[in-house]
């Protein structure tokens, strides 16, 4: 898909990867970009810089996503691409509270479900539309130091997969963006190297470049770190061996990850 002339919503667009996506979509000639974020101030800055519109939205709320979609469609017409990108990383181990599990589930998983709930009926009527869901390599492999992040990112990949299988023949395109470490506020506490440096820390602009290429290639999985495809194949090829290898990485990097995200 080509974003030229498209009406696009980017959630979590005030910072990091979302900001880079909003900026790159605008550079590529998007028709309109709506920058939705809890961080209204930064969303407004990004919207100003891309000639778009800012919206203060909590993506964990179905009502807020439905309101967002209705107001964008009233002002700008049908949504062509919903980039469901906002996400959070929370601690950590079996000590994580039920509230913290619920919160990360709402933001990392239900936000994608709410987006589909809000825009899919119209897209199906028109016979076209696209979702770019920011998942993570943690959704294909795992996240050392955070069970809630691993579980919710796996669920986000599963939902994207299900959407694509169910609606792909009806004109709906679905993309699952699965980077490893990216230099954003989310990884700001990691020292150089560490688990974030296993295959190198990319910049948000690198992710936007991979997205433009992935959309053009119409490939479901967008892997800015190409090594992830190899790890995913190794995992499928010999799950026990892969888990043993991951235990070694866990022993090596858990202390740093606990410093970053808590335990
Ligand atoms: N940084 C990485 O290493 C990395 C790697 C793989 C995947 N990801 C994923 O990329 C996405 C973007 O993360 P980032 O690294 O740019 O982080 P970031 O913290 O820089 O940006 C996340 C944005 O989401 C917004 N947000 C958080 N909760 C929200 C909510 N409930 N409603 C609306 N907005 C909300 C934040 O205000 C922020 O602007 C996330 O889904 C993250 O899990 C990040």
User: Residues 181-195: pLDDT tens digits?
Assistant: 999 999 886 654 445
- Contacts of the segment 232-238: beta carbons below 8 A, 24+ positions apart: 232/140, 232/141, 235/140, 235/141
- Looking at residue 192, its pLDDT comes to 44
Which residue puts its alpha carbon closest to atom 8 of ligand 1?
136
Specify if 1 maps to a domain: no
**Would residue 149 show up in a list of annotated catalytic residues for this protein?**
yes
Which residue puts its alpha carbon closest to atom 6 of ligand 1?
136
Instruction: Quote the ligand 1 centre to 107 CA distance (angstroms).
Output: 10
Residue 186 CB–ligand 1 contact under 6 Å: yes
Specify if 228 maps to a domain: yes
Domain count for the chain, please give it.
1
Specify if 23 maps to a domain: yes
**Residues in the chain where the model's pLDDT stays below 70:** 189-198, 263
Specify if 2 maps to a domain: no
Q: Which domain holds residue 152?
A: 7-261
- Looking at residue 252, its pLDDT comes to 87
- Looking at residue 263, its pLDDT comes to 66
Instruction: Quote the ligand 1 centre to 254 CA distance (angstroms).
Output: 21
- Looking at residue 261, its pLDDT comes to 75
Closest C-alpha to 131, from 99, 163, 156, 109 = 163
pTM, whole model, 2 decimals? 0.96
User: Residues 107-162: pLDDT tens digits?
Assistant: 999 999 999 999 999 999 999 999 999 999 999 999 988 999 999 999 999 999 99
Specify if 200 maps to a domain: yes
Specify if 174 maps to a domain: yes
CATH number of the domain residue 188 falls in? 3.40.50.720
Specify if 76 maps to a domain: yes
Specify if 221 maps to a domain: yes
């Amino acid at each position: 898909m080509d974003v030229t002339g498209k009406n696009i919503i980017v959630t979590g667009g005030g910072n990091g990867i979302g900001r880079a996506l909003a900026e790159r979509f605008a550079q590529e000639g998007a028709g309109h970009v709506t920058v939705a974020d809890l961080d209204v101030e930064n969303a407004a800055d990004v919207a100003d810089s891309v000639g778009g519109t800012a919206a203060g939205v909590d993506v964990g709320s179905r009502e807020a996503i439905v309101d967002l979609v209705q107001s964008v469609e009233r002002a700008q017409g049908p949504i062509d691409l919903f980039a469901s990108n906002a996400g959070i990383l929370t601690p950590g181990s079996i000590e994580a509270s039920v509230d913290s599990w619920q919160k990360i589930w709402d933001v990392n998983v239900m936000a994608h479900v709410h987006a589909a709930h809000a825009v899919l009926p119209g897209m199906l009527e028109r016979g076209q539309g696209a979702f770019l869901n920011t998942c993570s390599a943690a959704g294909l492999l795992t996240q050392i130091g955070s069970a809630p992040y691993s579980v919710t990112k796996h669920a986000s990949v599963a939902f994207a997969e299900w959407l694509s299988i169910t609606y792909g023949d009806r004109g709906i395109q679905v993309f699952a963006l699965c980077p490893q470490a990216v230099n954003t506020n989310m990884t700001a506490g990691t020292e150089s190297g560490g688990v974030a440096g296993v295959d190198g820390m990319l910049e948000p602009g690198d992710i936007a470049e991979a997205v433009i290429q992935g959309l053009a290639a119409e490939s479901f999985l967008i892997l800015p770190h190409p090594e992830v495809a190899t790890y995913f194949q190794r995992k499928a090829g010999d799950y026990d061996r892969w888990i043993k290898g991951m235990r070694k990485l866990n022993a090596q990097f858990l202390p740093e990850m606990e410093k970053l995200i808590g335990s």
